[in-house]
Amino acid sequence: MPDKKTVFHLLIILLLLTACAPTREIERLGIIHTLGIDVTDDGQQIETTMVIFQFDEQAATLTKNVIGQGKTVRGARNDASNQSAYHLASGQMQLQLFGKEAAEQGILPYLNMLVRDATVSDTMFLTVTNQTAKEILTTGRELTEINIGQFLYGVIEQEKNEHKIPRSDLQMFSRTYFEPGQDPWLPVMDIEEELPAIVSMGIFQDDRYVGELSLKEAFYLNLFINKIAPAPLELSLPREPFQDYMPEKNNDSEESLDIKIQLKGNTKTKLVDKEELRYQTNVKVQFRLDEFSEVIVVEDEKVAELFEKEIAKKMEEEYGSLLRKLQDMQSDPFGFGKYYRLQKKNGEMTSDEWRELYPDISVDFNVDAELIHYGTIQ
């Protein structure tokens, strides 16, 4: 039979174990869906613009924007919370948007807070804007009839699912940043035709935004990094090789043939000469002809092979131009540094070491293009 002292201690432990966590009425909560980050004009503080869900039945809309400033993201969030009637919680955050100036200074300090927050999903999308995050979120809210945060999230998700851009979530950015030999990327959003849209792909050197790629170049980056399902691609080919297969003779001065194809494929890369820093990238794609700027009859293997040859040649040229552009930016989103690092002793290499070598690499891009369906196309 336990004595009274033991029973007393057991009762205290039982009371502690059954204590309730602090609760808040849902009407008093503002659930953060989207977080925009800018630096203030004087560069001394951070300004956050948050899209929150509010569950107050007296509110006119389900969502609203709240703004705060502080020395840190958490401080700016607390400032916004103090100015509103809601306690801000980050449990449903799905998108973080960085203003251009903040991104150019480096976004790692802002990501550190997210990584340490157990309530934040590592699949949350990250994006950059050519304006300020505040402008995109406030202007976008006026232009769209739905939650601007959900709208932006849906735009990014659709482009990713259609294989037009590579993944751009917190997990992917963090993994790429912390792996020497590869630099991150994020989509760039702007107001286009009175709606927020992805207009380019932002390229980073470590965690700093240093330039951007066109959406076609973003597609090539995605094809290099991932195996992709059929996705649309537009190309301009030389017109002259196809003239004999054009039933409607065109005597104008056009020198190019614009085509739209559906393309799927993947790439394989290897370092073939470590001393000369020479790589070989084999790109294997299958494509279907969708649309031409002129009528072309594709009814035998000879014409099909001509398309395969010209498309492969064009893609090799564009990959070469893209690599030179990235070397000028001193950014390696392709990840050629990873292949070099794997051939070093113990696989060790610093980012600074690769920065010195990267401008001198050469890559042989070999595209194997296969036409999988053809007929008379206009």
DSSP line for 100-168: HHHHHH-SHHHHHHHHH-TTS-TT-EEEEESS-HHHHHHHHHHH-SS-HHHHHHHHHHHHHHTTSS---
CATH of the domain at 246: 3.30.300.210
- Confirm whether 10 is domain-assigned: no
**Residue 368 domain boundaries:** 227-378
Query: Is 80 exceeded by the pLDDT of residue 115?
Result: no
pLDDT in tens, 298-344: 777 888 899 999 999 999 999 999 999 999 999 999 999 999 999 88
User: What is the residue-averaged pLDDT of the chain?
Assistant: 85
pLDDT value for 8: 42
Spatial separation of the C-alpha atoms in residues 120 and 37, rounded to whole Å: 16
Per-residue pLDDT band for 28 (boundaries 50, 70, 90) equals low
Query: Is 80 exceeded by the pLDDT of residue 286?
Result: yes
pLDDT value for 10: 47
pLDDT value for 73: 84
Average pLDDT over residues 136-162: 83
Question: Does one domain contain both 195 and 272?
Answer: no
pLDDT value for 158: 93
pLDDT value for 147: 78
Spatial separation of the C-alpha atoms in residues 220 and 203, rounded to whole Å: 14
Instruction: Report residue 115 CA to chain centroid gap.
Output: 18
pLDDT value for 12: 46
Query: Is 80 exceeded by the pLDDT of residue 46?
Result: yes
Per-residue pLDDT band for 87 (boundaries 50, 70, 90) equals confident
- Confirm whether 249 is domain-assigned: yes
Spatial separation of the C-alpha atoms in residues 273 and 292, rounded to whole Å: 41
Query: Is 50 exceeded by the pLDDT of residue 19?
Result: no
Query: Is 60 exceeded by the pLDDT of residue 17?
Result: no
Per-residue pLDDT band for 129 (boundaries 50, 70, 90) equals very high
Positive or negative CA dihedral for 225, 231, 237, 240? positive
- Confirm whether 16 is domain-assigned: no
- Confirm whether 269 is domain-assigned: yes
- Confirm whether 218 is domain-assigned: no
Spatial separation of the C-alpha atoms in residues 170 and 38, rounded to whole Å: 18
Question: Does one domain contain both 277 and 174?
Answer: no
**Residue 87 · residue 29 · CB < 8 Å:** yes
Helix axes 148-161, 133-143, angle to 10 degrees: 100
Q: Of 213, 235, 267, at which residue does a domain stop? A: 213
Rounded to two decimals, the pTM is 0.86
Question: Does one domain contain both 239 and 151?
Answer: no
- Most distant pair of Cα atoms in the chain: their distance: 108
Q: Between the CA atoms of 90, 65, 200 and 324, what dihedral angle is there, to the nearest 10 degrees?
A: -60
Question: Does one domain contain both 246 and 146?
Answer: no
- Confirm whether 203 is domain-assigned: yes
